[in-house]
Chain A
Amino acid sequence: MRTLYLALKYLAVTLWSAFVIFPFLWMLSTSFKTQNAVTGGATWLPWLQFEPSLAGWRALFGGAGGVNIVKPYLNSVVVTGTASAIALVLGTLAAYGLSRFSFRAGPIRNGDITFFFISQRIMPPIVLAIPFFLMLRWLGLLDSLPGLILVYVAALMPIAVWVMVDFFNTIPRALDEMAWMDGCTPVTTFIRVILPNVLPGLVVAGMFCLIFGWNDFFFAFTLTFTKTQLLPVSIVALNSSVTPWWSLSAAAIVSVAPLAVLAFVVERFLASGGLKGAVR
Chain B
Amino acid sequence: MYRQKYIFLLPGLLVLIAVILFPLIFTIRVSFSSWDVYNPGLNDAGGAMYARMWEDARYWQALWRLSLLSVATVLIQYLLGFALALLVWRDIAARRFFRVLFLVPMMTTPVVMSVIWRTIFHESLGPLNPILEGLGIGAQPWLSHPGFAFVAVIIVEVWQWTPFMFLLLLAGLLSLPSEPFLAAKIDGAGPIRTFLSVTFPMMGAISVGAILIRAIEASKIMETVYVLTSGGPGTSTETVSYYIYIRGMRDFQIGYSAALSLTYLIIMAVALTLIAKALMRLMVRGAGA
Q: Are B109 and A215 in contact (CB under 8 A)?
A: yes
Q: Are A130 and B257 in contact (CB under 8 A)?
A: yes
Task: Decide yes or no whether B248 CB sits under 8 A from chain A.
Answer: yes
Contact of B112 among A17, A38, A256 (CB under 8 A): A256
Knowing A263-B107, A279-B175, the reply to whether A128 touches B241 (Cβ < 8 A) is no
Write the residues of chain B forming the contact surface with A, with a CB cutoff of 8 angstroms: 1-2, 4-9, 11-13, 15-16, 19-20, 23-24, 26-27, 30, 80, 83-84, 87-88, 92, 96, 98-113, 115-120, 124-127, 129-130, 159, 167-168, 170-172, 174-175, 191, 206, 209, 216, 219-220, 222-223, 227, 240-241, 244-245, 248-249, 254, 257-258, 261-262, 264-265, 268-269, 272
CA distance A238 to B119 in the complex (A): 12
Contacts of B248 in A (CB 8 A): 126, 129-130
Between-chain CB contacts (< 8 Å), 16 pairs: A20-B159, A23-B117, A30-B119, A42-B125, A93-B9, A97-B7, A117-B12, A122-B216, A127-B24, A185-B1, A235-B109, A243-B119, A252-B112, A252-B116, A255-B112, A273-B174
Known: A101-B8, A127-B261, A236-B111. 8 other contacts (CB 8 A): A41-B125, A103-B5, A122-B216, A124-B268, A131-B24, A134-B26, A222-B249, A251-B112
CA distance A133 to B40 in the complex (A): 14
Which residues between 117 and 173 of chain A lie within 8 Å of chain B, taking CB atoms?
Answer: 117, 120-135, 150-151, 153-154, 157-158, 161
Contacts of B30 in A (CB 8 A): 130-131
Knowing A157-B12, A218-B222, the reply to whether A270 touches B27 (Cβ < 8 A) is no
Identify the 6 closest CB pairs spanning chains A and B, nearest first: A97-B8, A131-B23, A94-B12, A97-B9, A154-B19, A101-B5
Q: Taking each of B7, B206, B209, which has the highest tally of chain A beta carbons within 10 Å of its own beta carbon?
A: B7
Q: For residue A124, which residue of chain B has the nearest CB?
A: B220
Task: Decide yes or no whether A39 CB sits under 8 A from chain B.
Answer: yes
Task: Decide yes or no whether A109 CB sits under 8 A from chain B.
Answer: no
Q: Are A20 and B15 in contact (CB under 8 A)?
A: no
